[in-house]
Amino acid sequence: MVTIKRAEPSDAGEILTVQRAAYVSEAQLYGDPFIAPLIESLEQLRKAIESAVLLKAVDGGRVVGVVRGLVADLTPGTNSGRACVVGRLVVAPDRQGEGIGTALLDALHEQVAEEFPDVRAFDLFTGHLSDANLRLYKRLGYGETRRERVQDHLTMVHMRRIAS
Q: What are the residue ranges spanned by the domains of the chain?
A: 2-162
Percent of the chain scored above 90 by pLDDT? Answer: 82
Please say whether the beta carbons of 134 and 157 come within 8 A: yes
**pLDDT at 75 (0 to 100):** 64
- DSSP single-letter state for residue 87: E
- DSSP single-letter state for residue 75: S
Instruction: Tell me which of 3.40.630.30, 2.10.25.10, 3.40.50.300, 2.170.270.10 is the CATH number of domain 2-162.
Output: 3.40.630.30
**pLDDT at 86 (0 to 100):** 97
* Identity of residue 149: R
Report pLDDT digits (tens) over 38-94.
999 999 999 999 999 999 999 999 999 999 999 988 766 655 679 999 999 999 999
First to last CA, the chain: 28
What distance in Å separates the CA atoms of residue 104 and residue 2, rounded to the nearest whole number? 10
Average pLDDT, integer, range 14-35: 92
Residue 35: pLDDT band with limits 50, 70, 90 = confident
Residue 136: pLDDT band with limits 50, 70, 90 = very high
pTM to 2 decimal places: 0.92
What distance in Å separates the CA atoms of residue 84 and residue 31, rounded to the nearest whole number? 29
**pLDDT at 80 (0 to 100):** 67
**pLDDT at 88 (0 to 100):** 95
- DSSP single-letter state for residue 7: -
Spatial strand order in the sheet of 62-73:
2-6, 53-59, 62-73, 82-91, 119-127, 154-162, 143-151
